[in-house]
Structure 1
Amino acid sequence: MYSHILIATDGSSLSGRAVDHGVGLAKALGAAVSLLTVSERFHVFALDAEQVEETASTFREHMREEAIKTLSQAFEVARSAGIEATQIHLEDDEPYQAIIRTAEGRRCDLIVMASHGRSGVSALLLGSETMKVLTHSKIPVLVVR
């Protein structure tokens, strides 16, 4: 049914459940797995407090460290299940577009992601990345609550 699954994660506990579910599905189907996390780019003018306090280089290093941590945790879940997984970190102002582009470029036939990763004001201002993927993707999306 599915031969290559893209699992998008932001490192949140909810996203961790999507990783668990996606890896379990991949194991059951014998599918390949690509793990993806997307970091926002640094902006001189930003609403995010992290970006206001940092320079471009320190922000980029912080995002890289977070991405390594996020992907390492997801990779460990896959490894523990006996699944080989490719780790991908991208920077993009529109994470949903990066998710869709990656899935298309890697010829994934399913995207697995959590119902939402952001909370509070950030979610209201930016909207749900999951909803944007659902709206724009031609590839099936499995949403884990």
Structure 2
Amino acid sequence: MYKRILVPTDGSEITQRAVATAVTLAKQFGAEVFTLSVKDPYPYSAMSEMQPTLPQEFLDAQERVAAKNVSAVKDACAAQGVACTGHTVESVSVWEAIVDYAKQHQVDLIVMASHGRRGVQALLLGSETNRVLTHSTVPVLVVR
């Protein structure tokens, strides 16, 4: 049924539940898992004379965190004998990076976590998962 499953990761505890679900589905369907961690670009507009972090230090730290998140998903896949491909990308828009990645890699299912925000908090903070649901052309499985 599904052959290419994307599971975006930010390393959070709830994302780990989405990873476990994606790995289980991949194992059942004989699918390959793709994982993606989106890095923030350097906030150049916030630069001042007293910038606490140099651009390269910031970018290196972002890459270390993103690579660690991707590595955790790859390890979870390897433990279950599931093939996994992982990438990190830089983007100001997490949901757009996820939707674009899904198109580029021809995934047929996206498995994402939802942080379960409701009411005013959800309206103010927005939801990357909700935006992916709204803009994705492939099915999205939301794990809570």
Q: Report how many aligned residue pairs link the two structures.
A: 137
Q: Pairwise mapping of residues 85-96 of structure 1 onto structure 2 (< 5 A)? A: 85-96=84-95
Shift of 1:101: 0.6
Aligned to 1:43: 43
Q: Is the 8 A contact 1:35 1:85 kept in 2?
A: yes
Aligned to 1:130: 129
Cα RMSD (Å): 2.0
Q: Pairwise mapping of residues 27-106 of structure 1 onto structure 2 (< 5 A)? A: 27-46=27-46, 53-106=52-105
Shift of 1:125: 4.8
Q: Is the 8 A contact 1:116 1:129 kept in 2?
A: no
User: Runs of 5+ in structure 1 lacking a partner?
Assistant: 47-51
Shift of 1:96: 0.5
- CA deviations over 1:85-128 (Å, ceiling 9, x no partner): 0011000000101100111111100001101399xxx9765411
Q: TM-score, normalised by structure 2?
A: 0.88
Q: Is the 8 A contact 1:5 1:111 kept in 2?
A: yes
Aligned to 1:142: 141
Alignment CA distance shift 1:134-1:98 (3 Å) = same
Alignment CA distance shift 1:117-1:95 (3 Å) = farther
Aligned to 1:49: none
User: Runs of 5+ in structure 2 lacking a partner?
Assistant: none
Q: SS of the residue aligned with 2:87?
A: strand
Q: TM-score, normalised by structure 1?
A: 0.87
Cα separation, 2, equivalents of 1:117 and 1:39: 22
Q: SS of the residue aligned with 1:45?
A: helix
Question: Which of these two proteins has the greater Rg computed from alpha carbons?
Answer: 2
Over the matched positions of the two proteins, sequence identity in percent amounts to 44
Cα separation, 2, equivalents of 1:143 and 1:76: 22
Moved over 6 A (4+): none
Mapped pair 1:115 → 2:114: yes
